[in-house]
Structure 1
């Protein structure tokens, strides 16, 4: 079957990585999957032409608003995958909420990453409760064998101090919902007391205006560095050298970066929000903080207690192995696409 798959494909973002992984699952089942960036299309009319030109028989959208709205009214069966921002942020805006409700009326199925996301969607759109499935993200990491830590430190303008550099890596696209500046002041104060600790923020420049704010703040903050996005394989390799992966988001659907760090046995320090708390069990698979001061306290514990870091890393890896296998994810999406295939065949008759 020929499938159109719409998603927001900013390079090196969680949405792009997730979309590419789902595409691989579908192509492994023999489908032809045309993956397109939803941001390249301004109207459903443009997408109608794309469907016609591609000969698409069915479609899939990652993100109920940004991608899903473009699939309405074309007469082909489609499903959606909630991205996180749609349920956590867009749902609070009246027109976007209305549009997503219409999308869910037409969609044959919807996928949520967690039970709490499914429950939230069911409360907002009760008519869609019966078509929402839960499938966690499937994780498989592949660290680069050619990555050089000393080159990374140079790129981050960090001078080695006889092996005494300890890096906390915050991976995120530079946009307000990721709140990369949340910890900066508290971390800078700690760095002035302990010059060997650094917070490195790594990710693409998603919001140009906010990126300028981040750059200005980082430039004036001791112990905090900003680096551009890097290939996923290099990012995974870099994580292995860090004390912990950091997540300071205001909201999350399901952070792929957190799960990847867990799979790599790297401790996770995450802001205590529902999306993070759904995968990070405090003291077992990672650590959760509620404010910058608590973050520093927990970070200091990790620095002073290597055994804690090893235990959290082992717990995180065991959790990902038990709940985020890529094979289960593949089976789910291949099954759901077969339901679209049945719908396409019915329409053809």
Structure 2
């Protein structure tokens, strides 16, 4: 079997890229051939490479991509990655396109039960095609780049592509209030600039706060383990998330995570059990302060986070479940296979 994985922005170190590469690696281990194509940023493809099944990521972007093809894929699976479910599906301009892509799919993959409920509520006719498969995680090798935090400091890490939805200025502006009381605090930002205007805002803020904030730029994914090993806590300040791979990776490293109260984050983190969730700036500051000053809480949350990820986010399970979905689709239409 050959599966064509169609990913938006595959050339950038973003959540979708990490997800697609991990799924590809997992399928390869099961003996399934995969090919990854990038479907955004001036993609010039007018026809698809030969494959038994096409698996698109992000219903809106994948739908826009297949519209431009001379020959549409005979059968495809689509993964709802976050923005398509939480934003595009409720956008009057994009909603119809998202629904069309979903209705024409043989199967739809979402990361959690709440996402399934949202999607089934919006597109009831697709309800029976929706499968919930939690994201797997990646284990990083020990070797990598050499990132070292300053001795005696407390390091928050915020891994995210720089775009408005990630709400990165909020993290800098709020942590500054803690930094002014506790000069041990440091913040590292890691991720590519995706929206230039937001990139300029973040760079300006970083420059103003250079004593304690550092923008590391786009980090090759296989070097992220080095950053997790240096960090004391990880932040996610996004307005919207699908199921953030970076949070799962941080939890795998037994790191406490402080995350915004959105669908994707809520579905991974149980507040005060496997991490901390905040709803407003006061809660953000209160919880960040607790992480800095309560070593026992940090250790407890980090250990519970690691256990949760090991039990619920297996890459092997993810790949095997997708394999079953593909096989079921191919059995239904053997004449085309």
What range is the shorter-chain TM-score in? over 0.9
Instruction: Select 2:270's aligned residue among 259, 278, 281.
Output: 281
Asked if 1:334 is matched to 2:323, the reply is yes
Distance 2:53 2:144 in 1: 40
Taking the TM superposition and a 5 Å limit, the aligned residue runs for 1:205-244 are 205-221=193-209, 223-244=212-233
Distance 2:332 2:32 in 1: 15
Partner of 1:157: none
Partner of 1:83: 81
> Taking structure 1 as the reference length, what is the TM-score of the superposition?
0.89
Asked if 1:176 is matched to 2:164, the reply is yes
1:42-80 deviations in whole A, cap 9, x for unaligned? 6xxx65x432xx223321101111124433672511110
Asked if 1:50 is matched to 2:39, the reply is no
1:267-321 deviations in whole A, cap 9, x for unaligned? 1111122221111111110111122332222222222221111110110011111
Relative to structure 1, the CA distance from residue 146 to residue 226 in structure 2 (aligned partners, 3 Å threshold; closer, same or farther) is closer
Distance 1:233 1:255 in 2: 17
After TM superposition, the structure 1 stretch with the greater mean CA deviation from structure 2, 314-323 or 207-216, is: 207-216
Partner of 1:303: 292
Partner of 2:106: 108
Question: Could you tell me whether the CA contact under 8 Å between 1:76 and 1:344 is conserved in 2?
Answer: no
Distance 2:232 2:107 in 1: 40
After TM superposition, the structure 1 stretch with the greater mean CA deviation from structure 2, 323-332 or 247-256, is: 323-332
Question: Could you tell me whether the CA contact under 8 Å between 1:183 and 1:292 is conserved in 2?
Answer: no
Question: Could you tell me whether the CA contact under 8 Å between 1:187 and 1:224 is conserved in 2?
Answer: no
- The runs of 5 or more residues in structure 2 that have no matched partner are none
Aligned partner of residue 65 in structure 1, secondary structure? helix
Asked if 1:164 is matched to 2:126, the reply is no
Instruction: Select 1:142's aligned residue among 140, 148, 152.
Output: 140
Partner of 1:321: 310
Distance 1:27 1:143 in 2: 19
Relative to structure 1, the CA distance from residue 93 to residue 70 in structure 2 (aligned partners, 3 Å threshold; closer, same or farther) is same
Distance 1:124 1:41 in 2: 31
Distance 2:147 2:204 in 1: 26
Partner of 2:54: 59
Question: Could you tell me whether the CA contact under 8 Å between 2:169 and 2:201 is conserved in 1?
Answer: no
Aligned partner of residue 162 in structure 2, secondary structure? coil
Distance 1:75 1:302 in 2: 49
1:242-287 deviations in whole A, cap 9, x for unaligned? 1201000001010111111111101111112222111111111011
Distance 2:180 2:206 in 1: 15
Q: 1:40 deviation in Å? A: 4.5
Question: Could you tell me whether the CA contact under 8 Å between 1:174 and 1:180 is conserved in 2?
Answer: yes
Partner of 1:70: 65
Question: Could you tell me whether the CA contact under 8 Å between 1:188 and 1:224 is conserved in 2?
Answer: no
> Taking structure 2 as the reference length, what is the TM-score of the superposition?
0.92
Relative to structure 1, the CA distance from residue 69 to residue 341 in structure 2 (aligned partners, 3 Å threshold; closer, same or farther) is farther
Distance 1:276 1:146 in 2: 28
Distance 2:283 2:164 in 1: 21
Distance 1:12 1:144 in 2: 19
Question: Could you tell me whether the CA contact under 8 Å between 2:266 and 2:277 is conserved in 1?
Answer: yes
Q: 1:92 deviation in Å? A: 2.1
Aligned partner of residue 206 in structure 1, secondary structure? coil
